[in-house]
Amino acid sequence: MRRRQPAGRPARGLEYLFPAAAAAGGLFTLAILAFLLVFGFPLLVDGRLAGLLLSPWEPDRGLFGIYPMALASLLLALSALVIGVPLSLGTSCVISTLAGPGLRRFLMHGVRLMAAIPTVVYSFAALFLLVPLMRRLLGAGSGLGLLTAAPVLALLVSPTMIIFFTNSFNRVERQVLLAADALGATGPQKLLFVILPAAWPGILNGMLLGFGRAMGDTMVSLMLAGNSPVVPGSVVDPARTLTAHIALVMAADFDSMEFRSVFVCGLVLYAMTGLLMLCFRLVAALGRRTRHERPA
Amino acid sequence: MNGLPEKLLTIFSWLALSALAAALVFLLGFLWMRGLPTLGPELLFGHTPPLDALLFRQQVFDGLFPAVCGTLLLVLLSMLLALPLGIPAGIYMAEYAGGRLRRLFNLFFDILAGIPSIVIGLAGLSLTIFLHRVFPGRVAPSLLVSGLALAMLVLPYLIRTTQTALEQVDPLLRATAPALGASRLQNILRVLLPSALPDITGGIILATARCAEDTAVIMLTGAVASAGLPGSLLDRYEALPFTIYTISAQYGSPEELAVGFGAAVLLLFLCMGLLLAALGVQRRLSVLLLYR
């Protein structure tokens, strides 16, 4: 039998504080959604959500669609992943298997340091190093554009993915690795035939995390992507992302439709976060199931 | 024996690592070269005598002193607001919550951790507008609003580090005090929390770094280019990351740009220093960095 000891009054108060704090944290998640809905409401009713998502941004003609921004966000995040995922996968292979123990520790610390570099510092350095370079390479324009922002964003999301990939590589079952060792497998062979196939849920989820982080970043796209609110015609064109749009439309008139559109951007980003989280959990659950079903 | 695919994988992996390292070295090296010569008392205090500035006898107009003070105040305020909520909520998640409620809270905190910081800033701004309608003329974007919004931003990190640190306590140690007749609360306060303290402290330091570097939240909730030192919590303020952004957008002279590079190096040092401190304190790396 488990017997609970009588607790003093302050102690009992503490035991009420714990769930109250957790409930408050959960309420924040809902409160943010509520604020976005309430402030975006006039535009949502007026324009209908599908219309807003698919129409262009022409405030002079009364069009407050966020299609160009949504498209730019998606394009930029995807191109950051196209650059970042191979780099992160390769680096994770080195850290988890190919490097010796000394180098491994050094690299892990390096990745953590990389994760601690502020976004605004990355963007500031790239603004004065990469942008002039792009201007000279292209021979025209300001040098600001999707192609300038994408590699910097890739650099920004890489540590997240590397840490996640490496962790999932290290979680591959020990018996399987020992069996591979006993058969005389080399490091690269273990990676190719054992670790990479077994770690697919981790790889997929690392990419989801990286994608969410790339979509949600403000400073890189705000400072490097050029911010023009039209559909980009090519990868070198300037474009404005959803996050940059929120940062830029700070109209003095809080009742204007321009200002309302910012909350629709916020809602889209919020919905994306929720959706990514559900996908993340789905992949993790699928991964666990295949692990259990595999014959021992 | 390694065949062609194995060789290709090896070459590709080392190339990927080198490319990443090279990009990083180029960017940081460039920042270092341009920023390092600017470091010195003038960067912080401009033409004001440092002692007068430090004793708040004279305003600093051409240095980073107000921005550094603003960032320190902001970090302090948001941690003061976030800690009393984050630590107890983490304790609840690790020690009390179970079943469906625990899954629901897990989902909520995961979503909160994933919400882009600019959206958190937007929520802070709408809170201000809302309060402004209820109490006209009293509430405006200010240090307090930014502190609240940043507290919301780091709350999920604090909850998660506390939770994982407590869950990772050795099961033997966890069972000892209850076996001797301690209550659940006594066990938490006297045994579990003290033994998880290094990991929780590391998480708190990392959350501090997150507060110091975030730009998107504060640009919507009260940071401005030149405000001087804030006189109260309801004043607008300057902050280091926002200063870096404004200088990059509208610098008028090479001297001003040099201040921008100095500020970037300063912020980099601050965040690196905090990370190293966290690594020194922590015994195992928390999940925290994943969410950043």
Q: What is the pLDDT of residues A2-24, one digit of tens each?
A: 445 454 555 677 888 899 999 99
- Contact between residue B88 and residue A17 where contact means Cβ atoms under 8 Å apart: yes
Buried b (16+ CB within 10 A) or exposed e, A209-234: bbbbbbbbbbbbbbbbbbbbbeebee
Q: Are residues A139 and A240 in the same domain?
A: yes
- Contact between residue A81 and residue A211 where contact means Cβ atoms under 8 Å apart: yes
Judge whether A60 lies within some domain. no
Question: Measured between CB atoms, does B282 come within 8 Å of chain A?
Answer: no
Give the pLDDT score at A293.
59
Judged by CB atoms closer than 8 Å, whether chains meet at B31 and A107 is answered as no
* Stretch among A133-137, A234-238, B243-247, B262-266 having the lowest mean pLDDT: A234-238
Domain count, chain A: 2
Judge whether A5 lies within some domain. no
Q: Are residues A35 and A122 in the same domain?
A: no
Q: Are residues A31 and A174 in the same domain?
A: no
Q: How far is CA A109 from the centre of its chain?
A: 21
B83 interaction partners in chain A (CB closer than 8 Å): none
Quick one: pLDDT band at residue A296, thresholds 50, 70, 90?
very low
In 3D, which of B211, B222, B212 has the Cα closest to residue B270? B212
Q: Are residues A21 and A119 in the same domain?
A: no
Judge whether A62 lies within some domain. no
A57 - beta bridge partners?
A64
Q: Are residues A38 and A72 in the same domain?
A: no
pLDDT of chain B, 292 residues: tens digit per residue: 678 888 999 999 999 999 999 999 999 999 999 988 888 888 888 777 777 777 777 777 778 888 999 999 999 999 999 999 999 999 999 999 888 999 999 999 999 999 999 999 999 998 888 888 888 777 778 899 999 999 999 999 999 999 999 998 999 999 999 999 988 888 999 999 999 999 999 999 989 999 999 999 999 888 888 777 887 888 888 899 999 999 998 888 888 899 999 999 999 999 999 988 988 888 765 544 444 4
Complete domains list, chain B, with CATH: 35-44+60-291 (1.10.3720.10)
Q: Are residues A154 and A273 in the same domain?
A: yes
Q: Are residues A145 and A201 in the same domain?
A: yes
Q: How far is CA B152 from the centre of its chain?
A: 11
For residue A167, give both structure tokens: 């962790």
Judged by CB atoms closer than 8 Å, whether chains meet at B109 and A29 is answered as yes
Judge whether A18 lies within some domain. yes
Judge whether A2 lies within some domain. no
Quote the pTM value: 0.90
Q: Are residues A136 and A282 in the same domain?
A: yes
Q: Are residues A25 and A123 in the same domain?
A: no
Domain at A278, CATH number: 1.10.3720.10
Please tell me the distance in Å from B115's CA to the nearest CA on chain A: 6
Q: In sequence order, what are the residues at sequence separation of 6 or more whose Cβ sits closer than 8 angstroms to the Cβ of residue B193?
A: B91, B166, B200
Give the pLDDT score at A250.
66
Residue A15 lies in domain:
11-51
Judge whether A1 lies within some domain. no
Q: Are residues A171 and A44 in the same domain?
A: no
For residue B227, give both structure tokens: 């405000």
For residue A222, give both structure tokens: 């705000």
The residue assigned the tokens 């988890």 is A96
Q: Which residue of chain A is at minimal alpha-carbon distance from B280? A: A109
Q: Are residues A17 and A110 in the same domain?
A: no
Judge whether A245 lies within some domain. yes
Question: Measured between CB atoms, does B124 come within 8 Å of chain A?
Answer: no
B112 interaction partners in chain A (CB closer than 8 Å): 25, 28-29, 32
Buried b (16+ CB within 10 A) or exposed e, A116-139: bbbbbbbbbbbbbbbbeebeeeee
Buried b (16+ CB within 10 A) or exposed e, B209-248: bbbbbbbbbbbbbbbbeebbbbeeeebbbbbbbbbbbbbb
Judged by CB atoms closer than 8 Å, whether chains meet at B275 and A94 is answered as no
Please tell me the distance in Å from A113's CA to the nearest CA on chain B: 7
Q: Are residues A97 and A32 in the same domain?
A: no
Q: Which residue of chain A is at minimal alpha-carbon distance from B212? A: A118
Judged by CB atoms closer than 8 Å, whether chains meet at B129 and A11 is answered as no
CB atoms within 10 A of CB A255: 9
Task: Report how far residue A28's alpha carbon sits from residue A22's, in angstroms, rounded to the nearest whole number.
Answer: 10
pLDDT tens digits, A142-198: 889 899 999 999 999 999 999 999 999 988 888 888 999 899 888 888 888 889 988
Task: Report how far residue A39's alpha carbon sits from residue A34's, in angstroms, rounded to the nearest whole number.
Answer: 9
